Structure 1
Amino acid sequence: MRCKVNILVWKNRVTQLLGVQYPLIQGGMAWVANATLAAAVSNGGGIGLIGAANMPPEILEQELIRARELTDKPFGLNIMLMSSTADAAMELAAKHRVPIVTTGAGSPGKVIERLKPLGTVVIPVIASVAQAKRVEKQGADAVVAEGTEAGGHIGDLTTMVLVPQIVDSVNIPVIAAGGVADGRGIAAAFSLGAEGVQIGTRMVCCSECTVHQNYKEAILKARDRSNVVTGRPTGHPVRCLKNKLSARFEELENAGASIDDIEKLGTGRLRAAVVDGDIEWGSVMAGQSAGMINDIKPAAEIIQTMFNEAADVISRLPHFEF
């Protein structure tokens, strides 16, 4: 006997909270997640994010205005709390009444206190049970539980073990991130108890994403062992694709180089990859799912295909009788 899956399966606390068709958030990737990408994802039925990162406030405000011009759907802003521009990003979110804000790399308390009274949905990205419990007490509306398979800055636990432990620890909705790039991953995330997914690397390879073509090609060429983690001695490890830069990081780390020297090597390297297309000495941040990505399609098509596949996967699961 086969189970029937209706589109209503995607109507849950996350879609209700975010006001979207699909329970999907696009990752707020620095230098990648701009208004063009965010609007494309939102128009495709998910939630697109603009990645504030270290963006100058005047540029970020232009991006927020541009997103409003490109979509009439809900979109969001990711604020990296360790950034020197985090407070300015928070105030711009307040000024422009951004519907959804995700946070990372720090305690979201002040963001929750500032933005929730304005009606903004605040969703911290977390990597441990302790963090999830803490932000729930602070008033977070949901959490993104991000496993170490994700690209960029990462934690230690895999998505497979992190998500169910977070689900068991909090009462707010949990959104799974890290290693999800197709419908099978979405179905797996829901099996673990998540009510939504955050997708990063797959969205880099959508036609609306404005990163340099070399960056996209590097992801398309990636295989299962093309990833590496650099910068562990700094306390802020980063997952990226192997290249000359990652090899140099490894040399410095093995030689016991100072944290200053390691951080100096990384300065400006993400921009070099994303904007200039330097995929040898630039930091090509990408998750382990890069090896699963083989094409470039419009964001809306990627989203619809993934959720159709997820519904099909679930519908084909056997019904066991005991």
Structure 2
Amino acid sequence: MERWKPLKIGELIARKPLIQGGMGVGISLSSLAGAVAKEGGIGVISAAQIGYKEPEWENNPLEANLKAIEKEIKKAREIANDGILGINIMVATRFYERYVKKAIESGIDLIISGAGLPTELPAYISGSKVKIAPIVSTLKSIQVISKYWERKYQKQPDLVVIEGPQAGGHLGFPVDELEKLEKRNSYEYDNEVRQILDFVKKLERKENIKIPVVVAGGIYDKKDMEHYIELGADGIQVGTRFVTTYECDASREFKEAYLNASKEEIELVKSPVGMPARGLKNLLVKEFNKPDKCYQCIKKCNPAEIPYCITKALIRAVKGDVEKGMVFCGANAYRANKMETVKEVMDSFFGKH
């Protein structure tokens, strides 16, 4: 008998309790998100510099991104049939509110937000049916969001995503804490997960509502999923595993970087946006280049002070220059040894349904 159940977020029901992680720049767009949604999970588009392929990109990144949000959601819908689509929009992004509103106008079902606390998100979705989910890494984060949203908006999260220290890309932990957790077993973070789950359960009883919780970060196979379901999670979020699928929007070279990676090549790096991140060791990490232009990605970024431009580094990688680009990945990326279809990945978690 299967231990998992469909994931219910209000009136949204995903047949399989898996959310595909939003990976930018350009790793999870319409092709990947649409395919995951079609297979019964929740497909997620990353809004991070999503318009990098648009003709307006060099002269007007904001307009290019807004145009691409609408375009990618529409294309994903055509693939997903009646599946559920989400978008990941980082709180730290410049023009955050405009991206949120464009996603709503374009018919997105769910907005997932991390890289900061999405304190004002309920105001931006006012009048819409879109569901909202903060990404948190600590008990304190969800306590602050819940209290603030309740006091200011009489609102609680529709879903909570707990992102652990083994995730790829930017991470919500101080470097010293990450290094401590790296030296211990992969489930060292479980105590924090339990505390967050307990807090959400108490919140559910108090408010008489259901708030599903999914766990993310380092989840690669069915065994990992069952571990978190047993802890009390309602589902999982998986990113890295989907990079080596045929439907993933990244270049062939980007996918091959995962297939060829060893465990030793995955490391923590300091991102110019001021947060630690996890990615593959390459020439970019060794040879930083000063940025010559600003693409308006992160609110707090000062081009004069950063070692390199994160936008250019990520775009370079997704297009195929994996030696001089930034290849973000989760801690288990080295386990990828073959290309798969999205259906094969979903079946490996849930069986053939």
Q: SS of the residue aligned with 1:39?
A: helix
Which residue of the partner structure matches residue 114 of structure 1? 124
Q: Distance in 1 between matches of 2:74 and 2:128?
A: 18
- Residue 287 to residue 68, structure 1, CA distance change in 2 (3 Å): same
Cα pair distance change 1:14/1:294, threshold 3 Å: farther
Q: Deviations over 1:267-310 (max 9, x none)?
A: 410110111x111111010010102222211112201212239x
Q: Partner of 1:58 in structure 2?
A: 67
Corresponding residue number in structure 2 for 1:35: 30
Q: TM-score, normalised by structure 2?
A: 0.77
Tell me which amino acid in the other structure corresponds to 2:317.
A
Structure (1 or 2) with the greater helix fraction: 1
What residue identity is the alignment partner of 1:205? T
After superposition, give the CA deviation of every residue in 1:206-244 in whole Å (9 maximum; x if it has no partner): 110121111111111222222111116863111101112
Identity of aligned residues (%): 34
- Is the CA contact (8 Å cut-off) linking 1:129 and 1:165 kept in structure 2? yes
Q: Show the 5 A alignment for 1:1-322.
A: 5-6=1-2, 9-11=3-5, 14=8, 18-30=12-24, 31-55=26-50, 56-72=65-81, 73-115=83-125, 117-137=127-147, 138=149, 139-156=156-173, 159-171=189-201, 172-231=211-270, 235-248=274-287, 260-264=304-308, 266-275=310-319, 277-308=320-351
Look up the SS of the partner of 2:250 in the other structure: coil
Query: Which residue of structure 2 lines up, in the alignment, with residue 253 of structure 1?
Result: none
Give 1:259 deviation, angstroms. Answer: 9.1
Moved more, 146-155 or 110-119: 110-119
- Given that residues 181 and 202 in structure 1 are in contact (C-alpha distance below 8 angstroms), is that contact kept between their aligned partners in structure 2? yes
| d(CA) in 1 for partners of 2:118, 2:342 | 29
Which whole-Å CA distance do the structure 2 matches of 1:273 and 1:170 have between them?
38
**Alpha-carbon shift at residue 177 of structure 1 (Å):** 0.6
SS at match of 1:113: helix
1:230 and 1:99 map into 2 onto residues whose CA distance is 33
Q: 1:116 to 1:48 in 2, by over 3 A?
A: farther
Q: CA–CA distance in 2 between the matches of 1:292 and 1:230?
A: 20
Tell me, yes or no, if the aligned pair for 2:271 and 2:310 is still in contact at 8 Å. no
Please report how far the alpha carbon of residue 245 of structure 1 lies from its aligned counterpart in structure 2 after TM superposition.
1.6
Structure 1 residues 291, 160: CA separation in 2 closer, same or farther (over 3 Å shift)? farther
Give the letter aligned to residue 29 of structure 1: M
CA distance in 2 between counterparts of 1:13 and 1:42 reads 13
Kindly state the Cα deviation for residue 149 of structure 1 after the two structures are TM-superposed.
0.7
Change (3 A) 1:144 1:184: same
Give the whole-Å Cα distance in 2 for the aligned partners of 1:18 and 1:144.
16
- The RMSD of aligned alpha carbons is 2.3
**Whole-angstrom CA distance in 1 between matches of 2:136 and 2:304:** 26
For 2:145 and 2:216, the matched residues in 1 are separated by 17
Letter of the 2:340 partner, please give it.
K
Report if aligned partners of 2:43, 2:85 keep a CA contact under 8 Å in 1. yes
Give the Å deviation of 1:17: 5.8
**CA offset at residue 85 of structure 1?**
3.3
> Comparing 55-64 with 32-41, which one deviates more in the overlay?
55-64
| SS at 2:332 equivalent | helix
Q: Which segments of 5 or more consecutive residues in structure 1 lack a partner in the other structure?
A: 250-257, 310-322
Q: How many residues align?
A: 294
Query: Per-residue deviation at 1:107?
Result: 2.7
CA contact (8 A) 2:22 2:239 kept: yes
